[in-house]
Amino acid sequence: MKYAKLMKAMPSLPRVDADSLLERLGLERRRSTFERVATIVGIFGAGILVGAGAGLLASPVPPADVRKKLGEGMRSVKNEINQGVRHAKQEIVEGARHAKHQVDDFVSREVKHNSPRVGENDGRNGAIKAT
């Protein structure tokens, strides 16, 4: 078959890509680690929700008390998270302040150490710098 005839016949040929070929063979692409982990975490999370719902339905405690305890627990978790965020902010600010002081000290030492003295050559065309 000549090239021109092949090119004319191509539009009528079905498109074959890797996925369709693997599907015809009864195979599939290997999923990435992220996809596998995300699936496992999703199934685990759904199981937790179903278990929690079943536990609430079978609980001998009145629903109002359950809601009250859940609310208290959520507030406690929220307060702990907020406290952790405040602590992390303080640590970041203190770390940035400490880093700034270190940079300032380094710069002042380098400027003091590397600045030319009176009558010394400053390295530019043999000029002598007077301070």
* pLDDT tens track for 20-34: 778 888 888 888 888
Distance from CA of residue 14 to its chain's centroid? 42
Residue 43: its pLDDT value, please? 96
Residue 78 has pLDDT above 90, yes or no: yes
Contact 82/93 with Cβ under 8 angstroms?
no
Across the range 69-80, mean pLDDT stands at: 91
Residue-range domain boundaries for the chain: 19-58, 63-116
Question: Could you tell me what percent of the chain has a pLDDT over 90?
Answer: 34
Model confidence, pTM: 0.39
**In whole angstroms, what is the distance from residue 115 CA to residue 109 CA?**
10
